[in-house]
Structure 1
Amino acid sequence: MEFFTVKSAYWLGMRGRIGQQGDLWRQIWTLNAPPKLCHFAWRACNNTLAVRAYLWRRHIIDDASCAVCGAAIEDVVHALLECNTIQEVWNGFKYMDIINNAIGNDGQRNLDTILQLFDAQEKCDFLVRAWATWIVRNSHYFEESPALPLQVVVGFLRLVDDYRTYA
């Protein structure tokens, strides 16, 4: 007789996530980066960040449009890459052409599609900027004076460097 456990439910759920996506999860969780960054990446790839499209789909809010820039739908890709308020974070990022082509060509708006284009170091660099854009985006929503994008990026880069030095 077998009993239900959290572990058995996990393995049952993971059966559908074998192959390329399973490799992506392994790459995310083994990045030489703070666990907070890996958790953020995992949530972003699963489309479970609290963006307006996700909240609208779960009937928590009535409007999925971006409250900051007014775009039609605020999904994860919009919140982390396309919103006008966070463009300063991505200016000068050497992989933006690759990212824009990936978003435009496959018709999918998933972060995992983009992450599969990079090696481990590039993934980490990309995710640090994406994490910074998430903080900047949230500061626009919830704080009276929004965070300065470049200061957030520099702070996160320092955090990751410190983690790598002392971990």
Structure 2
Amino acid sequence: MYWWPATDGIYTTKSGYWLARMGHVRGWTDRFGGDRAETWNSIWNLDGPPKLRQFVWRACTGSLATFGRLQQRHVRTDGMCSLCNEQQESIVHAIFFCSNVKQVWDLSPFAELICKAPCDSFFELYEWMKGKVGSSELLTFVAYAWATWSYRNSVVFENPWQCRDVGVLGFLRLVKDYKSYATAVNVCPPAAVSRSTWKAPSAGLIRVNSDAAVISETSSSIGAVLRNDQGVIVPARVKRFMGKPPVKVLEAMAARMGVQTARELGFSKVELESDALSVINLIKSHKIGKAPVDLVVDDIRSMSMDFESFFLFSY
């Protein structure tokens, strides 16, 4: 058995407190996806600045520090909106319905949709809007939300923008121009690096290359190839099975299959090479854990004791 809220499967007070605060079912779905996985993916795949994606995620998880939220956390005694003094300041109120920003939305392309959207939480409103507009319009929508929240903060902290509408247009332009800006300053996410050439191991060594893949929501596969110092494939194994374990577990399972194959064939000097740096580092660390990946890694360490020499590499 292992403690699933912790990555190493070992209980800590912090993880216990986190689970108690969020609840068992909500804790599982929020951490591992569940029914909300599609929404989380859409947020982190928004084609805008990283700060915009972070804002949307914080708004959807209820992490923005509105007065209502601060009152719930016993930071403030009063959760009333200080800008309109009409109702409790929730995230939805602060961004969409406070008189301080409502005119921005009334003049936006989303005025009619906002009137029809569910308003219990930003998450529900975002998810509803995602089903009503295309990706380009959704990006514009969250840019408006980011702008109104930023304007709210400028007023609350007594440093208001000189012109609210010009400031909102500036946010929209920033998001629209992000792609060209990111390219110009070279902050685009780096593409996955693929090594074009393979180098044979030193004389007398067998190199194990392993990899894993998620084929669909219900099936996965792992594979391993063993080559000698001439680059000749000795054996190769592939295994496909039902289920979708975490990628780190799959990569560890692929490495274990390769090491197991090398041991079964009686090789004494083995190199294990994988593109899963986290798995290689975990094997090297000799860290003890109870999570599923730790159990697989323990098997690899145990089998490596049977070799005369055993080396680890990642690329």
Q: Paired residue for 2:271?
A: none
Any idea what the Cα deviations from partners look like across 1:116-158, whole Å, max 9, x if unmatched? 2233222211111111111111111112544522122111122
Shift of 1:88: 2.9
Q: Paired residue for 1:132?
A: 147
Cα pair 2:29 2:35 within 8 Å, conserved: no
Worse-superposed segment, 138-147 or 149-158 = 138-147
Identity %: 33
Q: Paired residue for 1:114?
A: 125
RMSD across aligned positions (CA) = 2.5
Shift of 1:91: 2.7
Q: Paired residue for 1:51?
A: 66
Larger Rg: 2
> Which residues of 2 match residues 19-58 of structure 1 at below 5 A?
19-58=34-73
Distance 2:107 2:176 in 1: 20
Q: Which has the higher helix share?
A: 1
Q: Secondary structure at the match of 1:84?
A: coil
1:29 alignment partner AA: W
Seen in structure 2, the aligned counterparts of structure 1 residues 147 and 87 have a Cα distance that, compared at 3 Å, is: farther
> Which residues of 2 match residues 69-88 of structure 1 at below 5 A?
69-88=84-103
1:148 counterpart (150, 155, 163): 163
Q: TM-score, normalised by structure 1?
A: 0.84
Seen in structure 2, the aligned counterparts of structure 1 residues 28 and 4 have a Cα distance that, compared at 3 Å, is: closer
Distance 2:176 2:113 in 1: 25
Distance 2:46 2:159 in 1: 34
Q: Secondary structure at the match of 1:85?
A: coil
Q: Paired residue for 2:29?
A: 16
Any idea what the Cα deviations from partners look like across 1:92-119, whole Å, max 9, x if unmatched? 222222222123xxxx511122222233
Any idea what the Cα deviations from partners look like across 1:48-89, whole Å, max 9, x if unmatched? 100011100000000011001002210000000000011232
Q: Which has the higher strand share?
A: 2
Cα pair 1:139 1:147 within 8 Å, conserved: no
Distance 1:137 1:46 in 2: 19
**Number of paired residues?**
162
Distance 2:94 2:3 in 1: 42
Distance 1:6 1:136 in 2: 38
1:27 alignment partner AA: S
Cα pair 2:81 2:88 within 8 Å, conserved: yes
Seen in structure 2, the aligned counterparts of structure 1 residues 68 and 95 have a Cα distance that, compared at 3 Å, is: same
Cα pair 2:28 2:34 within 8 Å, conserved: no
Say which structure, 1 or 2, has more relative contact order (CA 8 Å, 6+ apart): 1
Q: Structure 2: state its 5+ residue gaps.
A: 9-14, 16-23, 189-315
Q: Paired residue for 1:101?
A: 116
Cα pair 2:60 2:123 within 8 Å, conserved: yes
Cα pair 2:48 2:175 within 8 Å, conserved: yes
Shift of 1:14: 6.4
Distance 1:145 1:152 in 2: 10
Q: Structure 1: state its 5+ residue gaps.
A: none
Shift of 1:4: 8.5
Distance 2:29 2:110 in 1: 31
